[in-house]
Amino acid sequence: MTICSEFVPDPSTNPAHGMRPRGSVVDIFCGAGGLSHGFRLEGFRIAAGIDIDEGCRYPFEFNNRAPFVRKDVASLDPIEVSQLFFRDEPKVLVGCAPCQPFSTYNQGIDDPKWKLVGVFARLIAETRPDIVSMENVPRLVDFQGGAIFEDFLLALRNCGYSISYKIAFLPDYGVPQARSRLILLASRHGRITLPDPTCESSDYPTVDSAISGLPPLAAGATDVSDPLHQASRLSARNLARIRQARPGGSWKEWPESLVADCHRRERGKNYLSVYGRMRGDRPAPTITTQFFGFGNGRFGHPTQDRGLSLREGALLQSFPASYSFVPPGMRVHFKALGKMIGNAVPVTLARQIARSIQHHISGVGL
């Protein structure tokens, strides 16, 4: 298959083939396609994904059988966006504006990316899709005193949208990751409800349930059957550290000779998760764009002496095990793929959002 900007979807490969289409989806800030893939698995037709990162073209197009449009969302023409939707189907505009400006990891407020939430609002106002879904970090709600989020809500209400939103704890929705996300749904056709939790704390998905089926791997090694199941190398010192690390423990339990200089300083004493191992019997911590580095957080494998592989990070983001991120034979770049995977909307969460939208579409007779 040739992957290019003129990609033409094959209807026979879409789960909706042979049934009434559930809706036409355009994914803004689509990244590697996690949000779109959840909708596709629930029977929606993916019309297109839009992102500025060319590296996302292959995973988006290959896994979602839909065209990728490389463009800065800030420069998008609303007419162009409107023309991407399939005709005679409910139009669903989804997106996750880059969340780094609102993350607790980013202490500054001068990142121009925060303005992309306003860009998303403008596209909604000028294209008037039937339904809108936005997913982001919880901090967006009160970032800069809540002004950015309130402006977004006001823009949608002025266009006649009914809005629902909440902060969702992802294990409640079947994602093996202890993080929370903001979910917003809006409709021009009446009240729309948010997805209900699917799991209770007693049956939360765990790290082990997500990754234990993968072959064992040494630090710096690559699984011959899956190039994405590849772990970063560890220095001799970090190998000694991870051998001392207890799942769920901290560097405070190590011999003094292994403690990093940064942790000896007053400020560093509170960073207990760095150089930590995950617990296999609990959901993972937040998968960041640097999850593949043992020293970047609690990203040590629960039992093996290494950090997480790229495939393990993708599974903890609830991508299917078969999800392809690079063309066969192409070199795997940790930094680029780590960013793609860490920035993605978890596929399982996307499926829950898609089901809620489908329930609304059926209820209002679209």
Catalytic residues, which ones? 99
Dist. CA 302–CA 241, nearest whole Å: 14
Query: What value, to the nearest 5°, has the Cα angle with vertex 73 and ends 67 and 78?
Result: 80
- Tokens 């839009």 belong to which residue? 50
Strand partners of residue 138: none
Residue 81 three-state SS: helix
Do residues 85 and 79 touch, judged by C-beta distance below 8 A?
A: no
Distances in Å between the Cα of 171 and the Cα atoms of 125, 166, 177, 257, 282 are 33, 15, 6, 37, 10
Dist. CA 146–CA 334, nearest whole Å: 35
Contacts 24+ apart (CB under 8 A), 199-202: 199/171, 199/172, 199/173, 199/174, 201/171
- Tokens 């936005």 belong to which residue? 134
Dist. CA 283–CA 298, nearest whole Å: 12
